[in-house]
């Protein structure tokens, strides 16, 4: 008999080494997440995946499941906290969805819909983050970065290129590219790199394909992210 834990009162089986999030997804229970990606080890930065285990908040993407755990996830309390984390992500950057090519295909936005975020609530930082349009095929709009480091990890661990890394600290943290000029054009970045196709939000964009899909046909138009994610295994 496989071992199990309780997820919002439902038994969920798990295998050794599986995290709470992995096991929950496998059993058809969605846990919100942004920095976690099925093909990479957990990162643990966005904190959207927080759940409560024995009264304590933990990151479900990183914590290995244990026999008999009682996990609370889809509760008003935790969803309220998740919504507030989303609001923080919205106010720290510049997210103007109507003019963003990622709109409709964006995980941050889709999650905000799912958690019924109606307002960014907090006061906006309105940071000044110039766009890098130097590359022939790709555009970087740093205004929308949520620092999930998926591009960093993909470029380093899969593409073998190290095009990206984070620099700065705290609220001044930002994405940097691997060139003394600081320009993407001066790196060996290519449009078919995994890193060029992994950004969950609208930072790393392909030129000349913007707004290609009509409204209504985009990834999260028809179905909410909690359905899409489980269907697509992401």
Partner 1 sequence: MGRLDASQLAAQACTRNGGDATRLLQVLIDVQEKAGWLSAELISAVAAELGVPRVRVEGVAGFYSFLYTEPVGNYRVLFSDNITDRMLGAPELMDALCGKLWVERGKLSEDGLVSVDTTSCTGMCDQGPALLVNGRPLTRVDHRRVNQIAELIRRKEPLYAWPSELFRVDDNIRRRDALLGPDQRPGEALRAALTRGREDWLAQMRLSNLRGRGGAGFTTAVKWQACRDAAGADKVVVCNADEGEPGTFKDRVLLSSFADQVFEGMTLAAWAVGAQRGFLYLRGEYRYLLDHLQHVLARRRSAGLLGNAILGETGFDFDIDIHLGAGAYVCGEETALLESLEGKRGTPRIRPPFPVTHGYLGRPTVVNNVETLAKTTLIALHGGEAFAATGTAQSTGTKLLSISGDCAYPGIYEYPFGVSIEHVLEDCGASDVQAVQVGGASGMTLASYEFHRRIAFEDVPTAGAFMIFDSSRDMFEVARNFVHFFAHESCGFCTPCRVGTSLLDNYMNKLASGYGAKMDLADIEWINRLLRQSSHCGLGSSAPNAVVDALVKFRPAFERHLRNLDFEPAFDLNAALAGARTAAGRDDPGAFLDREQETTR
Partner 2 sequence: MDNAARDARRPKLRVATTSLAGCFGCHMSLLDIDERLFDLVELVDFDRSPLTDIKHCGPCDIGLIEGGVCNAENVHVLREFRRNCKILVAVGACSVNGGLPAQRNHLDVGACLQQVYQYREGVAGAQIPSDPELPLLLDKVRPIHEVVRVDYFVPGCPPSGDALWKFLTDLISGRTPRLSHPMLHYD
Residue 37's binding partner among ligand SF4, ligand FES, partner 2, none (Cβ under 5 to 8 angstroms by kind) is none
**125-144 footprint of partner 2 as x/- string (CB under 8 A):** -xxxxx--------------
Residue 149 contact partner, candidates ligand SF4, partner 2, ligand FES, none, CB within 5 to 8 A by sort of partner: ligand SF4
CB half-sphere exposure, 182, CA atoms < 13 A: 9
Confirm or reject binding of residue 86 to ligand FES (CB under 6 A): no
- Per CB under 6 A, does 44 bind ligand FES? yes
Choose the stretch contacting partner 1; rule: CB under 8 A; options: 41-49, 104-112, 190-198, 220-228: 41-49
Please report, for residues 16, 150, 174, the alpha-carbon distance to residue 178 in angstroms, rounded to integers and kept in the order given: 38, 16, 13
Question: Do the bridges between strand 138-140 and strand 10-14 make them parallel or antiparallel, or are there none, so unpaired?
Answer: unpaired
* Per-residue x/- track, 148-167, ligand SF4 (CB under 6 A): xxxx----------------
When asked if residue 218 is in the footprint of ligand FES (CB under 6 A), the reply is no
Which of partner 2, ligand FES, ligand SF4, none does residue 187 bind (CB under 5 to 8 Å by kind)? none
Which of the residues 159 through 198 are near partner 1 (CB under 8 A)?
Answer: 162-173, 176-180
| Pick 84 or 212: Cβ nearer partner 1 | 84
Is 49 a binding residue for ligand FES by CB under 6 A? The answer is yes
Task: Identify which of 9, 10, 13, 34 has the alpha carbon closest to the alpha carbon of residue 22.
Answer: 13
Binding partner selected for residue 179 from partner 2, partner 1, ligand FES, none, CB under the kind-specific 5 to 8 Å limit: partner 1
Q: Which residue has the tokens 């969950």?
A: 200
Helices vs strands, H then E, count in the chain: 5, 9
Site track for partner 2 across 84-113, x = CB under 8 A: ------x---xxxxxxx--xx----x--xx
Note whether 114 binds partner 2 by CB under 8 A: yes
If you compute the radius of gyration of the chain from its CA atoms, what whole number of angstroms results?
18
Distances (CA, A) of 193 to 150, 180, 189: 12, 21, 7
Cβ pair 24, 52 in contact under 8 A? no
What distance in Å separates the CA atoms of residue 51 and residue 18, rounded to the nearest whole number?
Answer: 16
Q: Do 186 and 180 meet the contact criterion of CB atoms below 8 Å apart?
A: yes
Burial of residue 167, with CB atoms counted within 10 A of its CB: 0-12 exposed, 13-18 middle, 19 or more buried = exposed
- Applying CB under 8 A, the residues found at the interface with partner 2 are 90, 94-100, 103-104, 109, 112-114, 116, 118-121, 123-124, 126-130, 215, 221-222, 224
């Amino acid at each position: 008999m496989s071992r199990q834990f309780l997820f919002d009162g439902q038994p969920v089986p798990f295998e050794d080494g599986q995290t709470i999030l992995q096991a929950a997804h496998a059993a058809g229970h969605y846990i919100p997440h942004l920095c976690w990606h099925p093909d990479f080890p957990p990162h643990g930065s966005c904190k959207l995946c927080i759940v409560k285990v024995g009264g304590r908040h933990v990151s479900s993407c990183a914590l290995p499941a244990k026999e008999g755990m009682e996990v609370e996830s889809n509760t008003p309390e935790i969803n309220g906290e998740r919504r507030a984390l989303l609001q923080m992500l919205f106010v720290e950057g510049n997210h103007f969805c109507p003019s963003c090519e990622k709109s409709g295909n964006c995980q941050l936005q889709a999650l905000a819909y799912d958690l019924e975020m109606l307002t960014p609530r907090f006061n906006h930082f309105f940071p000044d983050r110039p766009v890098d349009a130097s590359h022939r095929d790709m555009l970087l709009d740093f205004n929308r970065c949520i620092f999930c480091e998926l591009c960093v990890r993909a470029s380093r661990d899969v593409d073998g290129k190290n095009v990206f890394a984070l620099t700065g600290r705290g609220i001044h943290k930002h994405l940097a590219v691997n060139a003394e000029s600081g320009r993407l054009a001066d790196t060996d970045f290519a449009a078919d790199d995994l890193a060029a196709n992994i950004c969950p939000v609208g930072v790393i964009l392909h030129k000349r394909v913007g707004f290609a899909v009509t409204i209504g046909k985009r990834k999260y138009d028809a179905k909410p992210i909690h359905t899409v994610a489980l269907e697509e295994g992401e």
